[in-house]
Structure 1
Amino acid sequence: MSDELVFYTNPMSRGRIVRWMLEEVGAPYRTVVLDYASTMKAPEYLAVNPMGKVPAITHRGVTVTEGAAICAYLADAFPEAGLAPPVGSPARGTYYRWLMFGCGPVEAAVTNKALGVEVPPERRATAGYGCLDDTLNALETAVSGKPYIVGDAFSAADVYVGSQIGWGMMFGSIEKRPAFEAYWAGISQRPAARRASQIDDALIAKAKEDA
Structure 2
Amino acid sequence: MTDELIFFTNPMSRGRIARWMLEETGCAYRTEVLDFGPDMKSPGYLAINPMGKVPAVLHKGKIVTEAAAICAYLADAFPEAGLAPPLPERAAYYRWMFFAAGPVEAALSNKAFGFEVPADRQRAIGYGSIQNVVDVLDYAVTQSEYIAGDRFTAADVYVGSQIGWGMMFGTLEKRPAFEAYWQRISSRPAAVRAREIDDALVAAQQATAV
Query: What's 2:9 paired with?
Result: 9
Q: Secondary structure of 1:195's partner?
A: helix
Q: Distance in 2 between matches of 1:5 and 1:122?
A: 47
* Contact 1:6/1:57 (<8 A) preserved: yes
Consecutive unaligned residues of structure 1, counting only runs of 5 or more, are: none
* Paired AA for residue 16 in structure 1: R
Consecutive unaligned residues of structure 2, counting only runs of 5 or more, are: none
Q: Distance in 2 between matches of 1:181 and 1:94?
A: 21
Query: What's 2:121 paired with?
Result: 123
Query: Residues 6-45 of structure 1 correspond to what in structure 2 (within 5 A)?
Result: 6-45=6-45
* Paired AA for residue 49 in structure 2: N
Q: Distance in 1 between matches of 2:11 and 2:82?
A: 26
Q: TM-score, normalization: structure 2?
A: 0.98
Shift of 1:145: 5.9
Q: Distance in 2 between matches of 1:3 and 1:25?
A: 15
Match of 1:177 among 161, 175, 178: 175
Query: What's 1:60 paired with?
Result: 60
State, as a whole percentage, how many aligned pairs show the same letter.
Answer: 66
Q: Distance in 2 between matches of 1:49 and 1:157?
A: 23
Q: Secondary structure of 2:92's partner?
A: helix
Q: Distance in 2 between matches of 1:2 and 1:132?
A: 44
Shift of 1:147: 2.6
Shift of 1:2: 1.2
Query: Residues 57-206 of structure 1 correspond to what in structure 2 (within 5 A)?
Result: 57-87=57-87, 89=88, 91-144=89-142, 146-206=144-204
Aligned structure 1 segments of 4 or more residues deviating by more than 3 angstroms: none
Q: Distance in 2 between matches of 1:134 and 1:80?
A: 37
Q: TM-score, normalization: structure 1?
A: 0.98
Q: Secondary structure of 1:48's partner?
A: coil
* Paired AA for residue 184 in structure 1: W
Q: Secondary structure of 1:41's partner?
A: coil
How many residue pairs get aligned? The number is 209
* Contact 1:82/1:155 (<8 A) preserved: yes
